[in-house]
Amino acid sequence: MVGQTAPSFTLFNSDKKEVSLQDYTGKNVVLLFFPLAFTSVCTAELCELRDNIATYQNLNAEILAVSVDSPFTLARFKEEQNLPFPLLSDFNKEVSAAYGSLYDTFVFGMKGVSKRSAFVIDKNGTIQHAEVLENAGEVPSFEAVRETLNTLQ
């Protein structure tokens, strides 16, 4: 996927407003997929980004986090964790699939849950970094994400 144009999308955020990747043309985007709101690893992962948001802002990057949760679930999760970036609902699983970030079967036999993954998309919409994890207990290398963003300055 690195070097390819990022698949475009429009999803509803936790405020029930549509957000498109095209809205971020001219900006670097860190696009994260995470399995499920309110689970321990997802919460720790997104809170790490929250706590280091200034680092990403200084690297001219916007963060978008996507899961198959409903916008209502994501609104509660965003509020409880005080997350300063959009949470997008891929309830129909189309965007997760387009990015190769969808489990056939996840825990408890759940089908169609987003794989934990991180993509860096440059100002022109090209994927510069991609990491898709099979093990949901692991988190992406945010060091690699920051290094990639650094090269885009």
**DSSP letters spanning 7-24:** PP-EEEETTS-EEEGGGG
User: Is 47 considered catalytic here?
Assistant: no
CB 37 within 8 A of CB 77: yes
In the DSSP assignment, the letter for residue 107 is: G
Helix (H) or strand (E) holding 129: strand 127-132
CB 144 within 8 A of CB 129: yes
CB 120 within 8 A of CB 110: no
**Catalytic residue among 19, 31, 37, 42, which?**
42
Q: What amino acid positions are annotated as catalytic residues?
A: 42
